[in-house]
Amino acid sequence: MTIEVQHIRKQFGQFTALDDVSLQFPDGQLTALLGPSGCGKTTLLRIIAGLEHPDAGSVLLDGHDASRRHVRERQVGFVFQHYALFKHMTVFENVAFGLRVKPRSERPSEAQIRAKVKQLLELVQLDWIADRYPPQLSGGQRQRIALARALAVEPRVLLLDEPFGALDAKVRKELRRWLRRLHDELHVTSIFVTHDQEEALEVADQVVLMNKGRVEQLGTPDQVYNQPASPFVYGFLGNVNLFHGRVREGVLASGSVELEAPQHANVADAQAVGYVRPHDLEVERYTPDAEGIVVTLRRAHAIGPLAQLDLERLDNAELIEAVIPNERYGKLALKEGEQLVVRPRRMHVFVDEGSNI
């Protein structure tokens, strides 16, 4: 099922939770709604589900206006962060619940219910705990059961609100890979809310970046990461170094250095900021004729395959972070306090709105 929201607005009193949001969710795709706390992700999800009504705008399901359709008629399945399974029912009965409460005319037979629940428990790889009760399960198992329960009624849309939010980092990682595999098997149009950028970039087909009730960008993980539409998107998707300066004739003059501004920077002559990811900085030992930004190594932290370097610019004392392969770090044999030269390999330049007003 395709989902489309058009010009959605939602106020809570004076507060604007959603401000003219228009988006398309293609059939069979997994979309992540990503953004900081309070940006309106959950509100948008609830409006799509029919649990909340927008002040303006519409929700289209398969091209038809669903605004007047009741939650039950929208054929959506939900999983929430603290999804309450029925404690007094076995895992089996929890998954069977949605089928048992169907109107008599649509209710499957007992044999069909048993077969369906068995199939779903196999799908989430938990058929071996069918007879247990929820308090006897781990958090990750509970979330998988919650998913099986949502899937039992064969929803045409699956809405997941921070489904793994309450779990520890390792289980979260496992479950998100598992969710991706499950989605590849079932192809149900799915939207999941997260404020974890890594989770969104790893799992989703498309990512919607939201900020203060508005959509900042919609794109594939590759697009939002490599072609960010705004400084907000760039900053939200990973660590970033900022080089403040002035762009003139394709060159960003920042402190005492000049950095070539990339083609995309549609900045003619203005105060601007160069955004550079820590791993997009080349690091060399200082030599008097080396071109780049001269820095002092303040601290090095080498763990696993990468080394993180905390650097201080010599010209303006601003701090910079660089991440280089540990192997290269070993070869450079760097010592704290030593001078180095760094050069951005890739940079995004945006007009510095703050300084141009």
What the block records as the tokens of 327 is 């192997």
Q: How far is CA 48 from the centre of its chain?
A: 19
Asked whether position 39 contacts ligand ATP by CB under 6 A, the answer is yes
Q: Is 41 in the site for ligand ATP (CB under 6 A)?
A: yes
Candidates 10-18, 62-70, 148-156, 255-263; binding stretch for ligand ATP (CB under 6 A) = 10-18
DSSP secondary structure code for residue 129 in this structure: G
Of positions 29, 31, 43, 308, contacts ligand ATP by CB under 6 A: 43
Least Cβ distance, residue 43 to ligand ATP (angstroms): 3
Single out the segment in contact with ligand ATP by CB under 6 A; choices: 35-43, 127-135, 199-207, 228-236: 35-43
Q: Which of 3, 5, 8, 17 binds ligand ATP (CB under 6 A)?
A: 17
CA-based torsion, 199, 225, 28, 52: positive or negative: positive
Note whether 12 binds ligand ATP by CB under 6 A: yes
Amino acid letter, 143:
Q
Nearest approach in angstroms of CB 239 to ligand ATP is 21
- Smallest distance, Å, CB 165 to ligand ATP? 9
Distance in angstroms (rounded) separating the CA atoms of residues 75 and 333:
60
- Angle between the 110-123 and 139-151 helix axes, to the nearest 10 degrees? 130
Tokens of 7: 């010009």
Q: Shortest distance, CB of residue 136 to ligand ATP, whole angstroms?
A: 29
Structure tokens at 132: 């247990």
Give, as one character, the DSSP assignment of residue 127.
G
Task: List the beta bridge partners of residue 276.
Answer: 241
How far apart are alpha carbons 106 and 126 in whole angstroms? 27
- The residue (of 165 and 255) whose beta carbon lies closer to ligand ATP is 165
Site for ligand ATP in 67-126 (CB under 6 A): none
User: Which spans of this chain sit near ligand ATP (rule: CB under 6 A)?
Assistant: 12, 15, 17, 35, 37-43, 195
